[in-house]
Amino acid sequence: MTPPTISLKEMEMHMQFRSTLRLATFLTLSFVTVSANAEELTNNVWPQWRGPHRDGSLVGTELPKGLADLKQVWKVELGPSYSGPIVGSDRVFVTETKDKKVEIVRALDRKTGKELWKQQWEGAISVPFFARANGDWIRSTPAYDGERLYVAGIREVLVCLDGATGKELWRLDFAKELKSKVPSFGCASSPLVVGDHVYIQAGGFCKIDKLTGAIKWRVLDDGGGMSGGAFSSPYFTELNGVPQFVVQTRSTLTGVDPKEGKVLWSEKVPAFRGMNIVTPTVHKNAVFTSAYGGRSFLFATTKNAADWSVKESWNNKAQGYMSSPLIVKDHLYIHLRNQRFACINLETGESTWTTTPFGKYWSTVTDGKKILALDEKGELLLIRANPAKFEIIDRRKVADDSWAHIAVVGNEIFIRALNHMAVYQWK
């Protein structure tokens, strides 16, 4: 009997749930059965912040043996942006800010870089002087469900665009809708699509109908303004058999029920000026986080019939900053506030090694054996995922300034530098 198949467009719509397909019944999603061939297609797209599984992991893709043979396929000059590129089956979506006034979204042909469409709207803020070095441009990485692109502008305005044409389908201005303040540092949280809804930390943590833009519920209202505005992005997972979002505000780490928005559990995370920035990382039934001006923590969660319990398994003096970590087996790899790269044993909390300083920020992906990192100075580093010692396999300069998250799809590397978009390929 021939197994059922799925089209590439359908796969792109649902591929961000691949790691949590067992939750389909709970979420009442309309999934078709995925065949082995269709499963391979999930490696052909990069639909959201940190990739298909939102954790920097690559499945079915083996990183290159070295970087010397990387060939630049195309390069397009753009205005400044910190949004990571979104890769569809035939196009790449990028954002930019022009003249500190207008936010622009472009769809580029994946093979050539040729512009397919362009959409724009007014949107800009001026961040506080002590953060000015990181710019007044768009920060959030969009999310793509295979048909619609969800873009969060710096003023906490979420815009839904038709991925094929760029036509605006709806927009949601959180400040107007919720009577909240635009955060002083701008919207930094990246939206997440699960089933029929979009979830984002804007004016709190909100569930939004992805077809209409209607807010279904809102929790974790942080007040907005200088004291509010989440830096972190939500992560969808399962803890102790219960589907939930792990959400990090500027003061807490929290589990939220996806259906009703109920807070399941919450734990305070101390940080200087609320700089809880990294995306929470899940290991078994425990959640890792790390904060600027604080420490690194692993919180174990348990659930009985009536309630949840959260217990600190260990803490480490290492301070994360803006770089979200990777997990390879029982070890965690993280770029720190002091610009060093470190490996931490998840069972014990002990650092197995820490490097000398690099740049201020890394975005990282892993195939389970190697790690590919993009330093904010524009250098690619290929590193062996070895908990015993730090090993650089190869390194190569590809840009002058890049804070956007790297994307890796098949044998292609998508790099959004501050002022251009480039694609590299290895054999």
Backbone angles phi, psi at 158, to 5 degrees: -95, 120
Check residue 113 and give its pLDDT.
Answer: 98
Rounded distance between C-alpha atoms, residue 238 and residue 234, angstroms:
13
Band of residue 306 on the pLDDT scale cut at 50, 70, 90: confident
- Following DSSP, what letter does each residue of 238-280 receive, concatenated? EETTEEEEEEE-SSEEEEE-TTT--EEEEEE---GGG---SPP
Q: For residue 44, give both structure tokens.
A: 């052909």
Give the CB-side neighbour count of residue 299, counting CA atoms within 13 A: 24
Check residue 125 and give its pLDDT.
Answer: 84
Instruction: Please check whether residue 184 is in contact with residue 225, taking contact to mean a CB–CB distance below 8 angstroms.
Output: yes
Q: Would the pLDDT of 2 be above 50?
A: no
Assigned CATH class of 52-80+323-402+404-427: mainly beta
Check residue 132 and give its pLDDT.
Answer: 66
Check residue 40 and give its pLDDT.
Answer: 41
Cα 193 to the center of its chain, rounded Å: 12
Query: What digits encode the pLDDT tens for the residues 106-128?
Result: 999 999 999 999 999 999 888 77
Rounded distance between C-alpha atoms, residue 278 and residue 289, angstroms:
7
User: Which of 393, 360, 387 is CA-nearest to residue 375?
Assistant: 360
Rounded distance between C-alpha atoms, residue 405 and residue 130, angstroms:
23
Q: Are strands 143-144 and 148-152 parallel, antiparallel or unpaired?
A: antiparallel
Reading phi first (left if > 0) and then psi (alpha if -120 to 50, else beta), residue 186 is in: left
Check residue 48 and give its pLDDT.
Answer: 98
Determine the residue type at 409: V
**CATH 2.40.128.630 correct for 82-231:** yes
Q: Would the pLDDT of 189 be above 80?
A: yes
Residues of the chain with CATH 2.130.10.10: 52-80+323-402+404-427
Band of residue 224 on the pLDDT scale cut at 50, 70, 90: very low
User: Which of 17, 84, 56 is CA-nearest to residue 366?
Assistant: 56
Band of residue 397 on the pLDDT scale cut at 50, 70, 90: very high
Q: For residue 220, give both structure tokens.
A: 């974790």
Query: What digits encode the pLDDT tens for the residues 254-295?
Result: 999 999 999 999 999 999 988 999 999 999 999 999 999 999
Q: Would the pLDDT of 34 be above 70?
A: no
